[in-house]
Amino acid sequence: MFTIQDQLFTLIKSLTKAEKRNFRLYVNRLQSAGDTKFLQLFDVLDRLAEYDEEQALKRLPDVEKRHLPNLKRHLYKQILTSLRLIYIQKNIDIQIREQLDFARILYGKGMYMQSLRILERIKKTALEHHQDILHLEILEFEKMIEARHITRSRKVENKMEGLLEEAAHRSYVTHYSNLFSNFNIQAHGWYIVYGHVKNETQAEEVRNFFESNMPKGWDEKKLTFFERANWYQAKMWYHYIRLEFEEAAGQARLWVQLFQTDEQMKQMDPDLYMRALYYLLVLLYLMRSKTEFEAYLRQFESFEQAFCEQMNDNSRMIAFVYLNLSRLNHSLLRRDPKSGILLAGSIGKELPLHEAYMDVHRSLLFYFKFAYLYFCDGRYEKALEYLNEIIHLKSAHLREDLHYNARLLHILCHYELGHYDLLDYLLSSAQRQYQKGEGISEMSRATLRFLRQLTQAPPASHLQAFRQFHTKLQGLQADKYERKALNYLDIPAWVKGKASIGHQSTP
């Protein structure tokens, strides 16, 4: 992975062949023959496998070290400028901003009537594409011109009244868009900090938090596209946190349906659409709704196939993560680990291409699902390879539930492999970790205690011990606060298998 200090190098390495070719054409059009040092720096950095400033300077004899920071800043700006020229045709907000810039330039030259004509034209574009903040900025600029100059607008009946009314409405929309986006972030933030509720007291705390932070004084019938999107997301998080998966899925469906009723937004904001599909698929997976899951997975795959070529790098990375996590969940939902393992092989080859730009949690989530599929298929050594990547992570923030599930699955793999000499150490280490954690299910804690008892019991008693523990787990399964854990590590299924065939190896 690249470090924060190597932002220029990271940007250059992210460029496609077409983007590099476009950059060189852009530079050759604008730069004189004598002003090519930053292009030379571009070529040098492009050839390096890893960022090495000393190596770069050796290949640039005409560049002194003290001048390198300014040269890098200039190159960084020029690359971004060339990329802007490419993506201006793909991003409506960039197009609107360009026209807004043109309007400001014309106004600065005293051509305010021409400036007003541009503003009137792009105002409609902003409205049609739900660019609420840009729409407000256009209106405010238009008002400023009308206030400072004598224009023909005064002769048009109700022109000024309409402009003021439109500006007031857009201010209202922008205000509530801000409130709803804040509310969505707050709801999601609660989950990141506290996770799912563990009892009725916490469920009541979430309800109070939700009601106290909910935007007030709005009409749901008048909500704009993005206001609705944020509102549905916030309610989805609320129900998800409270383990109300059916209600959460209902909100996720409404979120997806927003894009069905406004098809152009799938292309305008593919990242948000794929996020909606992904979270709906997660909830359907938790609900074990196989038929509906498969229908939305096909919808996701069709969208990715149709628009992949039009997506930018970030969108392609998001498609890779969300779609492949959903495919792995599909294999688990069908209880078909072999198909999941085949899929894991192809994902594993492509994963390094995206890891530099992915959140580390996403990478480790892939590793955990790979490990769980191999565990379900009885290939415990292979499962351990991926689990070690999670357990031995030395840096970066890691979600507690992922870490604790990985620790427990790691122990189960060693148990299945008969590594009884390791179990005492692994169990003691895991129990110390579990004592520090707050979001650990009782089922996981009980499983650790059970495994500890097994290591101290004679082999002949293991079959009966598994049967007794399976009965105990049935009681825990009835608790809704324990059920979610089964979707990521189905301990009762493993215990049931052992209770039916026994375990004859000697600890």
Q: What is the spatial distance between Cα 252 and Cα 237, in angstroms, rounded to a whole number?
A: 9
- Does the pLDDT value for residue 496 go beyond 60? yes
Q: Which residue has the tokens 């574009």?
A: 125
3-state secondary structure of 77: helix
Q: What is the pLDDT of residue 4?
A: 37
Nearest 10 degrees: Cα torsion 479, 245, 206, 277: 150
Is the four-CA dihedral 414, 416, 420, 425 of positive or negative sign?
Answer: positive
Contact 148, 133 (CB under 8 A): no
Q: What is the pLDDT of residue 338?
A: 95
Q: What is the spatial distance between Cα 54 and Cα 60, in angstroms, rounded to a whole number?
A: 10
| Average pLDDT value for residue range 247-257 | 97
Q: What is the spatial distance between Cα 507 and Cα 500, in angstroms, rounded to a whole number?
A: 19
Q: What is the spatial distance between Cα 405 and Cα 195, in angstroms, rounded to a whole number?
A: 15
Percent of the chain surpassing pLDDT 70: 93
Average pLDDT, rounded, for the chain: 86
Percent of the chain surpassing pLDDT 90: 36
Task: Pick the range with the lowest mean pLDDT from 21-25, 63-67, 440-444, 484-488.
Answer: 484-488
| Average pLDDT value for residue range 85-103 | 86
Q: What is the spatial distance between Cα 130 and Cα 315, in angstroms, rounded to a whole number?
A: 20
Q: What is the pLDDT of residue 463?
A: 87
Task: Pick the range with the lowest mean pLDDT from 8-12, 397-401, 416-420, 429-433.
Answer: 397-401
| Average pLDDT value for residue range 85-112 | 87
| Average pLDDT value for residue range 233-238 | 95
Token pair belonging to 300:
């996701």
Q: What is the spatial distance between Cα 258 and Cα 228, in angstroms, rounded to a whole number?
A: 8
Q: Which is higher by pLDDT, 503 or 395? A: 395
Q: What is the spatial distance between Cα 261 and Cα 269, in angstroms, rounded to a whole number?
A: 14
Q: Which of the 8 DSSP states describes residue 156?
A: S
Q: Which is higher by pLDDT, 195 or 89? A: 195
CA angle, corner 153, sides to 150 and 156, nearest 5? 140
Q: What is the pLDDT of residue 153?
A: 57
Give helix 491-501 / helix 442-455 axis angle, nearest 10°. 30
- Does the pLDDT value for residue 366 go beyond 80? yes
Q: Which amino acid is at 138?
A: I
Token pair belonging to 207:
């309800």
Token pair belonging to 342:
């085949």
Range among 123-132, 144-153, 371-380 with highest mean pLDDT value: 371-380
- Does the pLDDT value for residue 395 go beyond 60? no
- Does the pLDDT value for residue 504 go beyond 50? no
Q: Which residue has the tokens 């992915």?
A: 358
Q: Which is higher by pLDDT, 152 or 440? A: 440
Q: What is the spatial distance between Cα 340 and Cα 334, in angstroms, rounded to a whole number?
A: 10
Q: What is the pLDDT of residue 398?
A: 54
Judged on CB neighbours under 10 Å (0-12, 13-18, 19+), 469 is buried
For residue range 119-142, list pLDDT tens digits in order: 989 999 998 888 888 998 998 898
